Amino acid sequence: MIRLSLDEVHQLAEAILRHHGFAEDHVQAVADAVFAGERDACASHGLWRLLGCIDTLRAGKVVPDAEPEVIDQAPAIVRVDARGGFAQVAFQRGVPVLVEKARQAGIAALAINHCVHFSALWAELEVLTEAGLVALACTPSHAWVAPAGGRKPLFGTNPIAFGWPRAGRDPFIFDFATSAIARGEIQLHERAGKAIPLGWGIDVEGQPSTDASAVLKGAMLTFGGHKGSALSAMVELIAGPLIGDLTSVESQAWDAGTGSSPYHGELIIALDPKRFLGDAVDEHLARAEALFAGIEDQGARLPSQRRYEARARSLKDGVEIPEKLYEDLRALLR
């Protein structure tokens, strides 16, 4: 393993992105995202992602200097056309308008269109909880997951994330795929020649399988049976056709086998507790704290707790990454 300070993580990410011709606002925004993932020990959203970013660039599937267009769509809707760039800069441009609209109207939506998306939704939600807003986010991906009762890939891994601000504390945030497991987990099992648990996927015949390769050729399953499948369909609809953007099937068709990051849209909904509650806001947010205490007092954990613990460690000690990954990243600088 190689130990890096968090500054070194950011600098390495910046250097790679700059070397490959990304415009400076994209360099900074994507480096911030990769930095946050590495810092919080979400390795799949950390430095490792840069390999995919550069692959996506080489496949011609991301615009490195895209200039997002912000569209004031309706009193409580802001759209940002990412124009084929990574989602981060589009998100940054949309956020001030979303926050302003949510504070004004009480609830508002940010629709990001035509973006290449690979980052964790929790990182985006933290920006909104820091502004005192409650927020929901979701996005389709590529069609890898069968609907409950079906046998063919149709849905993406379709994450849903939710954030709730907590005064003086890390926010309550969850962010999970509606697939039973991340696709990368199944790929890791395949590489290691290990069986996967039943429930992760089915083979091309639609039969439950513990064979990672058979499931990668067949279809993944959603978490939670027909309920998870219904939620996954909802993500396709509200972060796809509702915002005029691609479903996971359509995103995969656009990919044309290059294995790039999904190209599609994202929907973020922000709600302002101050507009819902007026002067009573502090009293009611305190009742939310009682709910969190009711979870923790019985030995259960809040979502993101592991992430916040990793963050505290990383801020003190930096992070460790595999030497092979470090070499692969250094190779991108040549």
Decide whether 46 or 147 has the Cβ nearer to a copy of itself. Answer: 147
Residue 182 burial class via C-beta count within 10 angstroms: exposed 0-12, middle 13-18, buried 19 and up:
middle
34 within 8 A of 49, measured Cβ to Cβ: yes
Residues 6 or more apart whose Cβ sits within 8 Å of residue 150? 206, 219
- In sequence order, the β-bridge partners of residue 172 are 164
First to last CA, the chain: 22
Residue 326 sits at φ, ψ, to 5 deg, of -60, -40
Of 273, 277, 243, 272, give the one whose Cα is nearest residue 74: 243
CB of 325 to a copy of itself, least distance (A): 28
The beta-strand segments (E) located in the chain are 2-4, 69-74, 77-81, 107-116, 134-138, 160-164, 172-176, 201-202, 219-220, 263-271, 319-321
Catalytic, out of 20, 67, 69, 185 = 185
Contact in structure between 325 and 48 (CB atoms under 8 Å)? yes
Query: In angstroms, what CA-CA distances link 321 with 84, 182, 314, 328?
Result: 30, 21, 12, 11
- Supply the minimum distance, in Å, between the C-beta of residue 246 and a copy of itself: 8
In terms of CB distance, is 2 or 281 closer to a copy of itself?
281
Smallest distance, a copy of itself to C-beta of residue 33, A: 22
Q: Give the residue with the Cβ less far from a copy of itself, 244 or 259.
A: 244
CB-nearer residue toward a copy of itself: 235 or 321: 235
Residue recorded with tokens 């979870």:
295
Output the smallest distance, CB 255 to a copy of itself, in A.
17
In residues, how long is the chain? 334
Structure token pair of residue 175: 């962010």
Is 45 one of the annotated active-site residues of the chain? yes
Nearer to a copy of itself, 22 or 164 (CB): 164
Give yes or no for a contact between 98 and 270, defined as CB atoms under 8 angstroms apart. yes
- For the chain, how big is the Rg over CA atoms in Å? 20
CB 20, min distance to a copy of itself, A:
33
Of 46 and 265, nearer to a copy of itself (C-beta) is 265
Is 158 or 314 the residue whose CB approaches a copy of itself more closely? 158
CB atoms within 10 A of CB 289: 13
Nearest distance from residue 70's CB to a copy of itself, in Å?
A: 15
Question: Token pair for residue 138?
Answer: 């979701």
Q: Are 124 and 68 in contact (CB under 8 A)?
A: no
Active-site residue, from 10, 26, 45, 114: 45
Smallest distance, a copy of itself to C-beta of residue 237, A = 5
Catalytic residue among 20, 44, 69, 213: 44
Catalytic residues: 44-45, 185
